[in-house]
Structure formats: C-alpha cells, structure tokens
C-alpha cells in the first residue's frame, strides 16, 4: 500500500481515484497526520479534497485536532476543499465550521471564501442552484461565527 509520504506527493494522488485516496488515508498513522507536502497540504486537506468519508476525517482529527486550522500554500483550509465537494460533504463541512469558524471568512490566494467557491461551482450548468442551502450556511458562518457557534452550542445543549 502507498505510504503517507508517497501519498502526500502531488504526483502520487493527483490522478488517483477518490476511493483509493480515502482507503490510503484510512490506514494513516497518527504521527503521519501532521506531515505536509510541497504544497503545504496535510492529510486532512487530501481527505476533504477527495471526498473521504467521515470516519477518515474523524481519524485524522482525533490524531491532530488542529488540522482544521492549517492552510496550504494557496491559503485553502480543509473547509475550502470540503466546500468544493459541496453537498456531498455537508456533515464534514459542519464539523470543520465548528472546529475552526474563522475558516468560513478566510480567503484563498485567489480571494475566495468557501461560500465563493461553492457559488462558482453552482454557476456551472450541471450544478445550477444545487447548493443554495450550503451557500446560506457558509455565508452565515462567514458573517457571524460567534452567533453560529452560540446556535450550535444551544442546539447541542437543547438536543
């Protein structure tokens, strides 16, 4: 099986199917969760950009809870990558928002927030209007992360 160092090399994973990336990341060691590649991407960046299942995301975050707070060279946080997957990663997006609310307003090197990324994807004819709920969620976190955290905290206390 590909080891984590090889997986983190962009050439290794760029054309690898999402399922294969997720399978390799599922076997990752806790120590490897903090490794980075030439793009400053870490395993959580790879997991969110390749639509890895929640179990893989949870494993990486259990090993390195601050992984959600790390950006790559293009200033993409794992939240940006998860947002690019849109509705497919809604549970993961919600988890990342709670772990690092500031990422919702963080801009990439091309001056885009996670909501901007989803809006751009939603403008494509095949995706048109499919992510309205997600865009609203991301914009709410972007505008007022403290209020959103209070809502989440209130919901978990009430729930």
Distance CA 103, CA 97 (A): 7
Q: Are residues 47 and 108 in the same domain?
A: no
- What's the total number of domains in the chain? 2
- Of 26, 140, 148, which is closest to residue 98 (Cα–Cα)? 148
Query: Of 68-82, 88-102, 116-130, 131-145, where does mean pLDDT reach its minimum?
Result: 116-130
pTM score of the predicted model? 0.87
**Does residue 125 or residue 71 have the better pLDDT?**
71
Q: Are residues 154 and 100 in the same domain?
A: yes
Q: Are residues 83 and 48 in the same domain?
A: no
Domain holding 114, by residue range, is 77-159
Q: Are residues 19 and 47 in the same domain?
A: yes
Residue 5's pLDDT is 52
- Highest mean pLDDT of the ranges 4-8, 14-18, 144-148: 144-148
Q: Are residues 1 and 44 in the same domain?
A: yes
Where is the domain boundary, 51, 73, 95? 73
Query: Of 4-13, 15-24, 68-77, 95-104, where does mean pLDDT reach its minimum?
Result: 4-13
Distance CA 26, CA 3 (A): 11
Q: Are residues 41 and 82 in the same domain?
A: no
């Amino acid at each position: 099986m590909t080891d984590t160092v090889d997986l983190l090399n962009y050439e290794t994973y760029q054309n690898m199917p999402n399922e294969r990336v997720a399978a390799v990341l599922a076997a990752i060691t806790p120590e490897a969760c903090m490794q980075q590649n030439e793009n400053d991407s870490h395993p959580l960046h790879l997991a969110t950009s390749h639509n890895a299942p929640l179990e893989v995301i949870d494993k990486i975050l259990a090993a390195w809870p601050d992984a959600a707070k790390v950006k790559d060279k293009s200033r993409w946080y794992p939240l940006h990558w998860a947002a690019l997957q849109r509705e497919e990663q809604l549970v993961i997006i919600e988890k990342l928002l709670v772990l690092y609310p500031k990422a919702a307003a963080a801009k990439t090197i091309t001056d885009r927030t996670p909501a901007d990324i989803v809006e751009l994807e939603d403008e494509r004819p095949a995706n048109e209007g499919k992510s309205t709920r997600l865009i609203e969620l991301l914009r709410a976190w972007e505008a007022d992360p403290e209020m959103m955290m209070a809502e989440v905290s209130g919901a978990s206390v009430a729930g």
